[in-house]
Amino acid sequence: MPLVERPSSFVFPRRLGAAVPTVERAEGAVVWDRSGKRYLDGSGGALVVNIGHGRREVAEAMAAQAAAAAYVHGTQFTSAVLEEYARRLAVHAPGDCNRLYLVSGGSEANETAVKMARAYHLALGQTSRHKVVHRSVSYHGNTLATLALSGRPNLRAPYEPLLPSAPEAMAPFCYHCPLGRAYPECGVACVEDLEAVILREGPETVAAYIAEPIIGASAGAAVPPEDYARRAREICDRHGVLYVADEVMTGFGRTGRWFATEWSGVVPDIMTCGKGMSGGYMPVGAVLAGERVASALTRSPGGFVHGFTFSHNPVTAAACLATLDVLENEGLVERAAVMGEKAMARLRALGAHPHVGDVRGRGLMIGVELVADKESRRPFPRAEGRAEALGAEAFRRGLVTYPGGGGASGRDGDVVMLAPPFVVTEAELDEAAAILDGSLSALGL
Ligand code: PLP
């Protein structure tokens, strides 16, 4: 008989070959592992923990809803908690983009949005409209359809044969401007590429344009000029293309406003959310459809052919409603704006390190970019894993960050994101900055 080694864990790990500590408990902006080691959660996990860890009121609201009615199928029942949540969220949603379709994650939300855009055009009899334009540096999810809409060559590479091709427009990533220009002299020329792509594809074939208001993990909190979004909105309107704002990372106060589209004043036709929506207390995603889309689908005989077993879930709605209460009652969105400035002031000082090329972001969504050469902004080869090395060193010293990148030159580029819970204190910001400072020095970065 062949000897089969018994594995030490039956969990298929999130990252193969890398042992991670076992969490014991978490409170505010701090996580402790089972050995008693303390970590400052400098990134709220993957920019999820907006209201902070250990909120009993959220846990209690979830438990009460689970005891009352944990699950009903969305085609069979609605729930008071879901109805109330949708009503309360509508107050904060941009414009009329407020009809809530609750799902279980950001990728599910974007899949839903894409199908909704297609269904909208079918409802209008525009049957040839099916393409979705995305941007060259972007991330919209890890399912096959949303990966196909993500400008992340490194994540796509193994699955390329499975991914449908999708039109790609230039990303407004100013630090690595695709046109080699600088704002404001550039006149935001990159946005013209969106129109060129729509015209090249044939506007009658394009259903939607999807964009993160601030480019998240792929670029590390790259903030486009506000006129970019406004002009992109005009281009979409000119060609009958729906504007989808992916607020999965930026939504629910992360940038110091309820939604990052508020910075430009653009009202999307469809908005997607996730992450901070439940603060991590439940897996969640959502689509918010504007009146135009919602009413077209409601009137259409074809309706909206879609659905997930766990959509419209009452316990998820309870977690989200309790999270919304905390955000509102404690003024945490405003706090994210204030603490964001304090964080930025501290982190900008890291620019003195020889390989910190840029520190950017908005609110408590901050990216620190590492470059091989500051003058030319040339990135390190991705294979060197500089961002991961910095993340690992900071983790060892007790600071959780969110390393990523790849957006600087197609495949290369290193960013480490800082995005603590909104309850983070000034002392904790000092601690985060000091740990990063020490980690950069230790690695010669
Ligand atoms: N969209 C954006 C902008 C994201 O940052 C993410 C996740 O990082 C997603 C979509 C996918 O969300 P999820 O991982 O919950 O599926």
- Confidence band, pLDDT 50/70/90 cuts, at residue 1: low
Whether 398 has a pLDDT exceeding 90, the answer reads yes
Cα 336 from Cα 321, distance rounded (Å): 19
Q: Give the residue whose CA is nearest to atom 12 of ligand 1.
A: 106
Q: Which residue has the higher pLDDT, 191 or 406?
A: 191
For residue 386, the one-letter residue type is R
**Amino acid, single-letter form, for residue 406:** G
Give the pLDDT confidence score for residue 411 in this predicted structure. Answer: 87
- For a pocket test of ligand 1, which of 139, 247, 402 has the largest count of ligand atoms closer than 8 A to its C-beta? 139
* Residues facing residue 135 across a β-bridge: 169
Question: Does 221 sit in the ligand 1 pocket, CB within 6 Å?
Answer: no
pLDDT in tens, 215-244: 999 999 999 998 999 999 999 999 999 999
* d(CA 86, ligand 1 centre) in Å: 21
Q: Give tens-digit pLDDT for 124-170.
A: 999 999 999 999 999 999 999 999 999 999 999 999 999 999 999 99
322 CA from centroid of ligand 1 (Å): 22
> What is the tens place of the pLDDT at every residue in 267-282?
999 999 999 999 999 9
The pair of three-digit structure tokens given for residue 407, joined into one six-digit string: 């957006």
Give the angle subtended at the CA of 43 by the CAs of 360 and 35, to the nearest 5°.
Answer: 150
Give the Å distance between the CA of 8 and the centre of ligand 1.
31
Residue with CA at minimum distance from ligand 1 atom 14: 106
pLDDT over 60 (residue 53): yes
275, 46 in Cβ contact below 8 A? Answer: yes
Please tell me if the CB atom of residue 218 comes closer than 6 angstroms to any atom of ligand 1.
no
Give 410's pLDDT tier (boundaries 50, 70, 90). confident
**Domains in the chain: ranges and CATH:** 23-54+331-442 (3.90.1150.10), 56-329 (3.40.640.10)
Give the pTM.
0.97
Q: How far is the CA of 272 from the centre of ligand 1 (A)?
A: 10
Residue 17: predicted pLDDT: 85
